Amino acid sequence: MHFTVILDGKALTIEDVWSVAQNKKQVEVHPENLHLLDKIRHYVDDIAEKDRPYYGINTGFGALAEKKIAKKDLEKLQHRLILSHAVGVGEPLSHVEARSLMLLRANTLARGHSGCRKEIILYLTALLNSGCAPYVPSKGSVGASGDLAPLAHLALLLIGKGHAFINGKKVTAQKALSHAKLSPLKLKAKEGLALINGTQAMAGLGCLMLKHAEQLCDLADIIGACAVDALKGSDTPFDERIHEVRPHLGQQQSANNLRSMLKQSEIRESHRHCTRVQDAYSLRCMPQVHGASRDTFAFVRNVLEHEINSSTDNPLVFLRADQTGIDILSGGNFHGQPLAFALDYLAIATAELGNISERRMEQMLNPALSAGLPPFLAVDPGINSGFMILQVTAAALVNENKIYCHPASTDSIPTSASREDHVSMGMTSANKARVVIENCYTILGIELIIAGQALDMRKPLLPGTGVQTVMKKLRKIIAFTKQDRLFYQDLQKANQLCKSGILNSILVILNGK
């Protein structure tokens, strides 16, 4: 196992982002990249000494791009750029989320096309390796000229301003630098802009949210299988032949997971020849619904894998083929539209896992639909309300998710005197996805509690072997409900179980991965 991630701007994976962000892996910059940065920076310094205006090096920014800056003010220009752009608001990104942003910025700068000194990247990697993270408010980016405000708060850390985190504890930026054995950095020509021009806030959040969404998709299959057995549902809709003739990859994977979970179910055998012809859509269409979410997540993964290894600065610096100089090209790689679309899709596809989960709860709690189970799964209905209000909580979260699924990417508000006349709102898409994902962990946790109660009420018949394993994990932390109790405590435990990955490991074992 490799415990160090090597940054070369081209080979970073989403799994690397996940691991480094959680302080599990150290980071280094590839030596060849450090050499390239030195070579390119030599030419940038040379240009900064000339009288010809070059955007981002010796001019103002945005709508002030035509304003030439005197040589004596170039360092002051970069410093003030960071101060003026650090205007984020709202709750800060978590320690883990902020580290993902810092890692991605280091990786893109390592490519060399931003024209900064190698010291910038070495500061970022030193902070990562010492367990530090910038204090980055979550709101304030329109995702057009990059995530300007969030990245400016990252840059504040390098110059010793504002706040930071050390292993999750909020401290001053000066203390974080001292912890990493660094001193405040003096930015040179182009370097302030190089730090803030890019999509790394929305991309960093996106990588983490995607990993959660992929975990939720497996959880939906696992917990959905529990509901199938709890409701005396049929396993016929998961027959491999059905999914071979509509071969969406996600659909096939979910059907396979459901088959694996339901193998050797005594409950299924007890009603194999009953008169019920078909189950509700929330049961028999799980492969099609969960699978569509899987395929959407695959699309999002493809977008993010490209983005985290891209140069998203402006202007971009290119070393000429003969290495005798550089070309400085202005373009629009900072625009967040690819990510804005993808992260809106991520929220929508995740929310759908919660939508169908809540409908399975209705099937289990409604005595007209539950194949003989008592109302709301109460042992003594009437004096006990059972799980009646757990479904209400789920319904409230499903409703909230629907609101958060309104796409941010369809909006654009011109900024910077209409120089930035079309923006992506991609950071809003990322923030929305985070809320939807958190809600879906809770929704699926509620379904797990309800399915567990129903399965115990089917005894002595046993569910599929995979479902039995889930029940053993559940009953270690949440007991069968004989009478009403403080259910919010059970919700917290189920949420933690869903997030832990313990249930997901069951599928890994069943499928022999």
Show contacts of 175-182: CB within 8 Å, 24+ apart.
Answer: 176/127, 176/132, 177/127, 179/130, 179/131, 179/132, 180/126, 180/127, 180/129, 180/130, 180/132, 181/126, 181/130, 182/123, 182/126, 182/127
At a CB cut-off of 8 Å and minimum separation 6, what does 33 contact? 7, 8, 9, 110, 111, 112, 121
List the alpha helices (DSSP H) in 73-199.
Answer: 74-85, 95-110, 118-129, 148-158, 173-179, 191-196
- Spatial CB neighbours of 44, under 8 Å, sequence gap ≥ 6: 57, 115, 189, 190, 317, 326
Among the listed residues 43, 54, 55, 345, the single catalytic one is: 55
Q: What are phi and psi of 462, to 5 degrees?
A: -105, 145
Alpha-helical runs (H) found in 180-232: 191-196, 200-230
The yes-or-no answer on residue 488 being catalytic is no
Mutual angle of helices 487-500 and 426-457, in 10-degree steps: 110
SS3 130: coil
Structure-token pair, residue 421: 């006349």
Active site residues: 55
